[in-house]
Amino acid sequence: MADYKLEDQKKDENIKLLTRAHPWVLAKTGFRILALALVVFIIFLIFKASSVTAYSLFVFLAVSIMFILYGWFTWHNSLSIITNRRIIEVGQSRLFLKFIRQASMNKIQDVAYTRQGLAQTLLNYGTIEIQTAGAVDKIKFQNVPNPSEIQKMIFRYSDLSPEKKKRRIVIR
């Protein structure tokens, strides 16, 4: 994290967490490639060794490489960042579609996380939804590892922490 700098990072702003989706989400790409391999295998069983199987193998390799590169590109360029001043969601949902959502820690109203299904439960990853006040309605950190720890970290740096709530209570 020390070598990662935000474009608009303030002098007193420190990156506390920079994470990507759990690596298991890349398994979707692997399952697609296995499905393609099955199709190529069936073509080979039907046509034996012929030009059809040679072309099928070439197409399989080309499509597999494209799936792998696309899956890795979107995974690698989608980040969830927590600083001591704000939270930032950087999403790369398609090849040419990148979005950035951010909110100041004092704008956070609620933080919830979900783990759905067997894989997320066993591998301890899930989606964190951060409700904010202002123009950005919700920020989602999707498929991040250790969602409960990330939720606690956001509480600690936001105005939702018990220590900060105690300071805001004024007794008259």
Residue 146 falls in which region: left (phi positive, over 0), alpha (psi -120 to 50) or beta: left
The CA-to-CA distance between both ends of the chain, in Å, stands at 44
Yes or no: say if 128 and 111 are a contact pair by the CB < 8 Å rule. Answer: yes
Are 111 and 130 in contact by the 8 Å Cβ rule? The answer is: yes
Percent of the chain whose predicted confidence (pLDDT) is above 70: 90
Ranges 24-33, 42-51, 62-71: which has the least confidence: 42-51
Other residues' Cβ atoms within 10 Å of the Cβ of residue 158: 23
Length of the chain: 172
Cβ neighbors of 172 (< 8 A, separation 6 or more) are none
- Count Cβ atoms below 10 Å from residue 61 Cβ, excluding itself: 12
**CA dihedral over 113, 117, 121, 126, signed as positive or negative:** negative
Q: 33: Cβ–Cβ under 8 A, 6 or more apart, which residues?
A: 64, 67, 68
Using one digit for the tens of pLDDT, what is the confidence trace for 135-170? 767 899 999 999 999 999 999 998 776 665 554 444
Q: What is the pLDDT of residues 110-141, one digit of tens each?
A: 999 999 999 999 999 999 999 998 776 789 99
Average pLDDT over residues 13-18: 92
Residue type (1 letter), 48: K
Residue 141 is inside which H or E element, if any? Answer: strand 138-145
Total-model pTM: 0.79
Class of the domain covering 15-162: mainly beta
Measure the CA angle with vertex 170, ends 168 and 172; round to 5°.
175
Q: Give 147's strand partners.
A: none
